[in-house]
Structure 1
């Protein structure tokens, strides 16, 4: 019997990444919209971990199956790690990311490369059918650029410069981004956790995971 996984997001960009990374699961993966869930969740935690668990717990009350949720954000060292857990609400919850990105670039006007260090952080929380709670964290280090570059990503991707690859995360291929991104790292860690709980078929899981 195929597992049912609900990922607590309505962000199609996230769902595309999630489905690629978790494609080896013998499972149907749904966003909240696809699952017919329309609920307002107050994310009032003090950390990425707390907010991810808040979302996962609320959705787990409504469905049978595995619930995954994430909380992610951008930490800019020069701005005392802002916008951090408020990344999605920075500049207003319904403000476009083009505007959010420009606001951050403007706040860093005149700041040299070496002081523009930043990181993306992602925490994935899971609630299993037996009530088990799991969390995993992933990060990627980089710098804030001077203008938007690239169209492959979403959110703050166009201004997040990765020195190792000399491009923004919005210019990375989907495959490479999933390998090195904060969300990709956190999801791969969660994938391993779920394997340990025997959520996947043993033989398929072992072969596919170790073939990478």
Structure 2
């Protein structure tokens, strides 16, 4: 399959990550990021759920370009904070995409919380929208516990503080930022969501 597919992001790490996830699922479109269409403005995430925001971004890009589009919205949900930062994860400290500030603020907020009460999960909604109006959305999750300090240099966002649940022979007490890209993709919320979406992409674009 070589049909073009747009991922609604200007983050090159996410494009690379999704390309690998889809390839592992046997789906190999001509995947590009939103930078390939600079005339299309960024979509404001006005939804109140991950699914709403993902569909909003995919729908807007597909309509504006006439090209099938996928989008995801994801974030960290901390049990003791009632699910926050949630949809506000990327701008928790006030400025969108400031990973270091977001990490510092969250760790400060949880400074007095002991490990048994630091449960959290990454959530991801992945959406596909076609120019003809067809849409599909799926969700994935990765549960774990938050470390008291960052560890690892891989990944992005809150990866350095979430130690995921998962096969002990894979995780071995490491954070998401200490996993290799392949290890992370095999268990991540984004990996699970987009693997679930891959057969739909194959069917609708094939």
Task: Please report the TM-score for the alignment, with normalisation by the length of structure 1.
Answer: 0.88
Residue in structure 2 matched with residue 181 of structure 1 by the alignment: 188
Structure 1 residue 156, shift from structure 2 partner: 0.6
Aligned-pair Cα RMSD in Å: 1.6
Structure 1 residue 130, shift from structure 2 partner: 2.9
Matched position secondary structure for 1:18: helix
Structure 1 residue 40, shift from structure 2 partner: 2.9
Which region of structure 1 is more displaced relative to structure 2, 57-66 or 153-162? 57-66
CA distance in 1 between counterparts of 2:4 and 2:37 reads 10
Structure 2, unaligned stretches of length 5 or more? none
Deviations, residues 124-151 of structure 1 (Å, cap 9, x unaligned): 1111243211001000001111111111
Structure 1 residue 37, shift from structure 2 partner: 4.2
Report the structure, 1 or 2, having the larger helix content: 2
Which residue among 65, 90, 109 is the counterpart of 2:111?
Answer: 109
Residue in structure 2 matched with residue 93 of structure 1 by the alignment: 95
CA distance in 1 between counterparts of 2:73 and 2:161 reads 19
Structure 1 residue 66, shift from structure 2 partner: 1.3
Residue in structure 1 matched with residue 10 of structure 2 by the alignment: 10
Indicate how the Cα distance of structure 1 residues 44 and 177 shifts in structure 2: closer, same or farther if over 3 A, else same: same
CA distance in 1 between counterparts of 2:138 and 2:95 reads 26
CA distance in 2 between counterparts of 1:37 and 1:19 reads 23
Deviations, residues 27-64 of structure 1 (Å, cap 9, x unaligned): 21110113334413221111111111111111112112
Structure 1 residue 194, shift from structure 2 partner: 2.1
Residue in structure 2 matched with residue 210 of structure 1 by the alignment: none
Matched position secondary structure for 1:122: strand
Length, aligned pairs only: 199
Residues 185-200 of structure 1: matches in 2 within 5 Å?
Answer: 185-197=192-204, 199-200=205-206
CA distance in 2 between counterparts of 1:194 and 1:41 reads 22
Contact 1:6 1:35 in 2 (8 A): no
Matched position secondary structure for 2:37: coil
Which residue among 120, 123, 129 is the counterpart of 1:127?
Answer: 129
Structure 1, unaligned stretches of length 5 or more? 201-212
Structure 1 residue 163, shift from structure 2 partner: 4.5
